[in-house]
């Protein structure tokens, strides 16, 4: 009780902070705080919220919001590092302004209010990713500085504490209809990163603010019931179906929650010895290809090797040497930093444990094959630098793309046959228009168009007979059921066999009423030459492969211009779709494509 669980020194304990922070880190935090001393707190206008309804644009509201949050976190860390009171007044300004806001919820999430509008309604408080993170940050500000604030004016702490009660504590206990809580979950519904992310923020608020034992116990228990829903939803193999770049928000936020829960109960409530929790952690090291490239299914990006301090802390908690050494490997000899974003808990945890991370031996040692039999992800690699990622799955996964049976191929860490990822989120991204976006469609994944039909969205559109031969490095799946009835496809067994310097792709199929030639699509980037029959040359970042195909196919090449920075920052200004068109109608077939 009474925050005895907090593992960091009190603000007044200057010796404690001096022992935690190196002089270099202290200087970095203080200089960052100094840059915020003249920060002009940004006003989020009513029309900035309304713009989400008008055009689907989110950033006009989110950019000033995020800038204000980052300023508060930076000022708080700077004051903890220096301890002279220089940053307190500006911190008070940010906190007071934050309390004056009608809501801390992002405009894109406000339509979950009863009004279904994107302008905050003062009569209703809901909890989303934004408000939860804002609340936990301000709960830490209250914990560290409320005595200091009281010396200026007791109304500051009183106002902050009352606002946190109104925005976070009361809504959490009084509304069990928040979808991410999953208390009314039904089969077919998704439970994703929102669950551990929001619950970890709420748990921080309660453990930092509530000192009535009965109320605190009820709240902690409620968060446990909710997070159990997420853990039960994730497949026991531990894979993150949302994609690798979501790992830090999904498994990573679950780790944050479990760490706070363990700290708050003095280790008496802990899941860190559970094998599934460890597998969920090690998914991040298994999904890393190299040089910043990662496996990217669903809405994930192909770039971004992960948050090394988070990976280290997770690995430390579950006893995974693989994760701890991988975290050190990601640093590539650099000193781990303390993030100045808006996640106060992760900033504080870096201060606590980065010295350990810096002293850890770097390594990235993973098996030649990692098979996730429930999520139906398969990673295979060989000693010649070839890495294959393939999937089965179904077309209603979290952050879903219609991509059952797709794959990505990397040579010496370079992606040569790719998954494009996803563009900047707008209202359309999470609406009934989602699959009108090209990045979500099976036609722009490494998949066939069968009898003129593309894959469809829905729980029932899925792979069958998914197998992985871990010794022979062969993955196969029947993807026929991922296509609609109009495809008239009885079976379409796609297999991938990884050899020394070769990938063999095999399609064996039966179609009951062939009406349109089959098309086989491959997505790539770099330089592509289709001028030689039966042989396509792909050259990317000094890696060169050839794609060989049967003579009864005709090859075409489509340039896809990338205007969205979320895509162009990864792939450049353009990518290419190779389409191999069967010159004949076929009711049965056995296609073989060789990449070497």
CA distance linking residue 553 with residue 184, whole number of Å: 51
Element (H, E) at 394: strand 394-395
Q: Which two tokens stand for residue 118?
A: 């994107």
CA distance linking residue 523 with residue 250, whole number of Å: 28
Q: What is the DSSP letter of 434?
A: G
Q: In sequence order, what DSSP letters do the residues of 27-59 get, joined into one string?
A: HHHHHHHHHTTT--PPP--HHHHHHHHHH---H
Contacts 24+ apart (CB under 8 A), 310-313: 310/248, 310/252, 310/255, 310/346, 311/281, 311/284, 311/285, 312/336, 312/353, 312/356, 312/357, 312/360, 313/255, 313/259, 313/349, 313/353
Q: Which two tokens stand for residue 300?
A: 């994930």
Output the pLDDT for position 243. Answer: 84
Q: To which residue do tokens 């701890």 refer?
A: 324
Q: To which residue do tokens 């009183």 refer?
A: 158
Please give the model's pTM, rounded to 2 decimal places: 0.94
Q: Which residues 6+ apart lie within 8 Å of 210 measured at CB? A: 169, 216, 219
Bin 363: left if φ > 0, else alpha if -120 < ψ < 50, else beta: beta
Q: List the Cα angle 396/289/529 in 5-degree steps.
A: 85
| Mean pLDDT along residues 224-233 | 97
CA distance linking residue 409 with residue 419, whole number of Å: 9
Bin 188: left if φ > 0, else alpha if -120 < ψ < 50, else beta: left
Total Cβ atoms within 10 A of residue 414: 21
Confidence check: pLDDT of 263 > 90: yes
Domains with residue ranges and CATH for the chain = 1-212 (no CATH), 234-366 (no CATH), 369-595 (2.70.98.70)
Q: What is the per-residue pLDDT across 441-488, written as a single tens digit (0 to 9) for each?
A: 999 999 999 999 999 999 999 999 999 999 999 999 999 999 999 999
CA distance linking residue 215 with residue 65, whole number of Å: 31
Confidence check: pLDDT of 531 > 90: yes
Q: What is the DSSP letter of 357?
A: H
Element (H, E) at 360: none
Confidence check: pLDDT of 393 > 90: yes
| Mean pLDDT along residues 313-324 | 98
From the list 132, 124, 106, 34, the residue with the least C-alpha distance to 77 is 34
CA distance linking residue 574 with residue 560, whole number of Å: 5
Q: What is the per-residue pLDDT across 112-163, written as a single tens digit (0 to 9) for each?
A: 999 999 999 999 999 999 999 999 999 999 999 999 999 999 999 999 999 9
pLDDT band at 305 (very low <50, low <70, confident <90, very high): low
Confidence check: pLDDT of 3 > 80: yes
From the list 417, 434, 438, the residue with the least C-alpha distance to 426 is 434
Q: What is the DSSP letter of 166?
A: I
The percentage of the chain sitting over the pLDDT mark of 90, rounded to a whole number, equals 96
| Mean pLDDT along residues 540-547 | 96
Q: Which two tokens stand for residue 104?
A: 């801390």
| Mean pLDDT along residues 308-329 | 98
Q: Which two tokens stand for residue 14?
A: 């200057």
CA distance linking residue 287 with residue 408, whole number of Å: 12
Is the separation of the CB atoms in 452 and 516 below 8 Å?
yes
> Measured in whole angstroms, how far is the alpha carbon of residue 292 from the centre of its chain?
15
CA distance linking residue 517 with residue 431, whole number of Å: 32
Lowest mean pLDDT, pick from 240-249, 348-357, 457-466: 240-249
Output the pLDDT for position 427. Answer: 86
From the list 271, 254, 270, 252, the residue with the least C-alpha distance to 262 is 270
How confident is the prediction for the chain on average, in pLDDT?
96
Is the separation of the CB atoms in 593 and 549 below 8 Å?
yes
Secondary-structure breakdown of the chain: helix, strand, coil percentages, each rounded to the nearest 5: 40, 20, 40
Confidence check: pLDDT of 291 > 90: yes
Q: To which residue do tokens 């498994």 refer?
A: 251
CA distance linking residue 78 with residue 84, whole number of Å: 10
Element (H, E) at 153: none
């Amino acid at each position: 009780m009474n925050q005895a669980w907090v593992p960091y020194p009190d603000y007044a304990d200057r010796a404690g902070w001096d022992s935690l922070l190196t002089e270099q880190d202290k200087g970095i935090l203080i200089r960052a705080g100094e840059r915020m001393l003249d920060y002009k707190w940004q006003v989020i206008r009513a029309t900035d919220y309304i713009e989400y309804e008008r055009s689907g644009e989110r950033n006009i509201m989110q950019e000033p919001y995020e800038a204000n949050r980052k300023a508060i976190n930076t000022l708080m860390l700077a004051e903890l590092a220096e301890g002279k009171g220089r940053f307190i007044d500006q911190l008070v300004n940010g906190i007071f302004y934050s309390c004056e806001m009608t809501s801390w919820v992002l405009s894109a999430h406000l339509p979950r209010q009863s009004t279904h509008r994107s302008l905050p309604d003062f009569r209703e408080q809901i909890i989303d990713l934004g408000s939860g993170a804002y609340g936990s940050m301000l709960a830490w500000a209250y914990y560290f500085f409320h005595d200091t604030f009281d010396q200026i004016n007791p109304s500051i702490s009183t106002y902050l504490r009352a606002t946190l009660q109104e925005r976070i504590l009361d809504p959490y206990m009084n509304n069990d209809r928040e979808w991410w809580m999953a208390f009314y979950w039904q089969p077919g519904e998704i439970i994703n990163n929102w669950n551990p992310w929001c619950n970890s923020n709420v748990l921080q608020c309660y453990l930092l603010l509530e000192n009535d034992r009965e109320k605190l116990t009820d709240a902690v228990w409620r968060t446990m019931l909710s997070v159990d829903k997420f853990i039960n939803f994730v497949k026991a193999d531990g894979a993150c179906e949302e994609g690798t770049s979501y790992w830090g928000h999904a498994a990573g936020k679950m780790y944050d929650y479990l760490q706070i829960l363990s700290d708050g109960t003095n280790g008496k409530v802990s899941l860190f010895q559970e094998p599934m929790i460890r597998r969920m952690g090690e998914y991040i090291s298994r999904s890393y290809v190299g040089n910043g490239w990662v496996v990217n299914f669903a809405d994930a990006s192909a770039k971004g090797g992960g948050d090394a301090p988070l990976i280290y802390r997770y690995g430390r908690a579950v006893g995974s040497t693989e994760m701890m050494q991988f975290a050190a490997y990601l640093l590539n000899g650099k000193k781990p930093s303390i993030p100045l974003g808006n996640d106060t808990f992760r900033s504080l945890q870096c201060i606590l444990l980065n010295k350990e991370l810096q002293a850890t031996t770097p390594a990235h040692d993973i098996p030649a094959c990692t098979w996730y039999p429930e999520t139906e992800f398969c990673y295979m690699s060989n000693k010649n630098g070839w890495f294959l990622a393939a999937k089965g799955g179904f077309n209603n996964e979290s952050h879903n793309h219609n991509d059952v049976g797709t794959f990505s191929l990397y040579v010496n860490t370079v992606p040569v046959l790719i998954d494009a990822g996803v563009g900047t989120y707008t209202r359309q991204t999470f609406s009934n228009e989602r699959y009108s976006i090209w990045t979500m469609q099976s036609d722009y994944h490494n998949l066939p168009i069968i009898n003129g039909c593309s894959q469809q969205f829905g729980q029932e559109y899925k792979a069958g007979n998914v197998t992985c031969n871990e010794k022979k490095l062969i993955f196969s799946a029947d993807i026929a059921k991922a296509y609609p009835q109009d495809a008239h496809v009885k079976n379409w067994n796609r297999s991938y066999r990884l050899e020394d310097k070769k990938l063999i792709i095999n399609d064996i199929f039966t179609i009951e009423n062939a009406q349109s030639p089959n098309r086989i699509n491959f997505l790539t980037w770099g330089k592509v030459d289709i001028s030689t029959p039966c042989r396509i040359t792909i050259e990317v970042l000094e890696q060169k492969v050839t794609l060989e195909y049967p003579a009864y196919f005709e090859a075409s090449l489509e340039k896809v211009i990338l205007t969205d920075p979320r895509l162009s920052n990864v792939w450049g200004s353009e990518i290419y779709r190779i389409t191999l068109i069967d010159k004949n109608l076929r009711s049965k077939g056995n296609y073989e494509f060789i990449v070497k």
